Structure 1
C-alpha cells in the first residue's frame, strides 16, 4: 500500500509539473505572438544517423528519435500559430542508394506514416491535415497506399497542414509543372501562374523559414522555386536535438528580418 501511495504521489507531481511547463510555454508564445509569427516552416531533417552514432544507438534509432522530435516540434509550432509545416522526408536521389538500403528506408517510412496516424492527440487536437507531395508513383505500393490513406483520413482537417515531401526534388517538381502546363494549354503562351498551379507544393504558401539542421547549408534540391524570399537557417543542432529553444530562436530571428523579407517579396511581385 505504501508503494502504491508513493506511486500515486509521484504521478500527481509529474502531472502538476507538466501543467506548469505547459502554462509557461503558452505564456512565452503569447509574448512572442505580439510580433509576426511565420505561417509556414520547412525543415530538412538532417543529422538522424549522426545522432545515433553520437549516442551509440542501434541502427534506425536515430530516425526514431527524429520522429519523436518531429511530433514535439509540430505541437509547439501549432500552439504558436504556425499553420504549415513541410518536412523533406525522402529525395528522388535517395533511390540511387543500394537496394537493401532503399528498402530499409521504405519500411521505416511505412512505419512512421502509420505512427503518425496513431498520434491522434496531435493530428486531431490541432486539426492537422496531412499532404504528401512529390512523385508518389515512385514509392513502393505499401508506402504509397499508406500515404494515400493518411491524406484521406485527415482530409477533413483544416486548422493546420503537415506537408511531407517524399520522392521529391525541386527540379522534378518544376519539370512536372511545366509538362502539365503544356498538356493543359496545348498551344498558346504558358504563364507563370500556369506553372505554379501545377507545382506539388501548390497546396501551401511559400515558406517563411527554411531550416536545415546539423549546421549544413546546402538546400539539396529542396523547394528551390519557393524559397527566393525565405529566411534560411542552419542551426548546429542535429534534428533529434531540436526543441523549444531552437524554435523560439528561429521565430525571433524571423521577426527581426521580417520587414526586409516583406520588402523583397513586394519587389518580386
Structure 2
C-alpha cells in the first residue's frame, strides 16, 4: 500500500477537523503504534499480517495528520528490543521495512510534490546493509523538503539515543572541540537524533498500555500523553480527533510550563560541534548508499 493517500474524510469528520482547527493544533505528534501482534492473534492471522495492517494504518494516519495541519509526525516502528524476538518475526519485520522503503522510493514524485522530508532515527549500524542503503537513499532524496516531516524511529530506543549523544559530546571534549562550559541541556537536546525537530506536542500510544517503552523519553517531558485502548490497526480518525481535543484542553497548562523553562544558548564551539555532527550524518548516509 502507498505511503500517501488522498483524503477520504466524511463530511462529519471534515466538520470536526474544521472545528478543531479553530483551536491550537499540535505541530508535532508522536505515535507508539502498539497492538499489531494482538490484532493478528485476535483475527487468527500471522504476526507479519498484523504488522502489515499496522503500516496500512500508518499511511491513513499520516493523511489525517496532514488534514489537521500537524506538520511533523514521529512513529515508533522498530525498537532495538525487537531484535530479541524470534528470528522469524525479526526477519519478517526487516523484510516488511525493505518493501515499504522501496515503495517510498518508487513514489518519489509524490513525496517530492508533497514536500515531505523523511528521517529515520535510530542506530542504523544495527541494520542489514541493504536496508541501511534504502534508508540512506530516502533520507538523501528528501533532506531539503520542508512542508512536512516524517520521523521513523527504527532500531531505536531512547536510552541508546541519549547514550550516543553523550558519546559524541565526550568525544568532542577529549579532542578539545568542546569545553565543560559548553555543555548544557540545550547542547544535549541538539545532539539527539531529533535535533532538528521541536519536542512532540502530542504523544499517543495505542493498545491500552500506559508506558513509554523507551520512546522519546527526553523529548516527551512536556508533551501531552494520550493513551488509547484501541489496537493500532483499529485506530481511526475519531481516535485521533479525540486526542487532539484533549490536547487542546490541556494546552494552556502545557504552554505555561514550557514558557517557564530555561533556554540556555549555545557557545560558538557548540554550534560548530553540532554542524560537524550534521555533516557526519550526511557523509555517513552517502557512504552507506555507495557501499
Q: Report the TM-score, using the length of structure 2 for normalisation.
A: 0.80
Q: Is 1:69 aligned to 2:57, yes or no? A: yes
Q: Is 1:128 aligned to 2:121, yes or no? A: no
Q: What is the rounded CA distance, in whole Å, between the counterparts of 2:171 and 2:43 in structure 1? A: 51
Structure 1, residues 180-238: CA drift from partner, whole Å, max 9, x if none?
11222335212222222210111211001111100011111111101111111110111
Q: What is the rounded CA distance, in whole Å, between the counterparts of 2:97 and 2:219 in structure 1? A: 25
Q: Is 1:31 aligned to 2:19, yes or no? A: yes
SS in structure 1 opposite 2:155?
A: strand
Q: What is the rounded CA distance, in whole Å, between the counterparts of 2:97 and 2:9 in structure 1? A: 32
Structure 1, residues 49-77: CA drift from partner, whole Å, max 9, x if none?
11122222234111111111111110010
Q: CA RMSD in A?
A: 2.1
Structure 1: 5+ residue stretches without partners:
1-17
Structure 1, residues 123-165: CA drift from partner, whole Å, max 9, x if none?
3453211000011111111111111111122223210000001
Q: What is the rounded CA distance, in whole Å, between the counterparts of 2:7 and 2:167 in structure 1? A: 52
Equivalent pair of 1:211/1:233 in contact (CA under 8 Å)? yes
Q: What is the rounded CA distance, in whole Å, between the counterparts of 2:105 and 2:39 in structure 1? A: 25
Equivalent pair of 2:48/2:89 in contact (CA under 8 Å)? no
Equivalent pair of 1:213/1:234 in contact (CA under 8 Å)? yes
Which residue is equivalent to 1:88? 76
Which residue is equivalent to 2:221? 228
Q: What is the rounded CA distance, in whole Å, between the counterparts of 2:192 and 2:7 in structure 1? A: 42
Q: 1:33: Cα distance to partner?
A: 0.8
Aligned pair partner of 2:233 in 231, 234, 240: 240
Distance 1:179 1:209, change over 3 A: same
Distance 1:121 1:41, change over 3 A: farther
Q: Is 1:213 aligned to 2:206, yes or no? A: yes
Which residue is equivalent to 2:254? 261
Q: What is the rounded CA distance, in whole Å, between the counterparts of 1:230 and 1:260 in structure 2? A: 11
Q: Report the TM-score, using the length of structure 1 for normalisation.
A: 0.86
Q: Specify the structure having the higher radius of gyration (Cα).
A: 1
Q: What is the rounded CA distance, in whole Å, between the counterparts of 1:101 and 1:125 in structure 2? A: 35
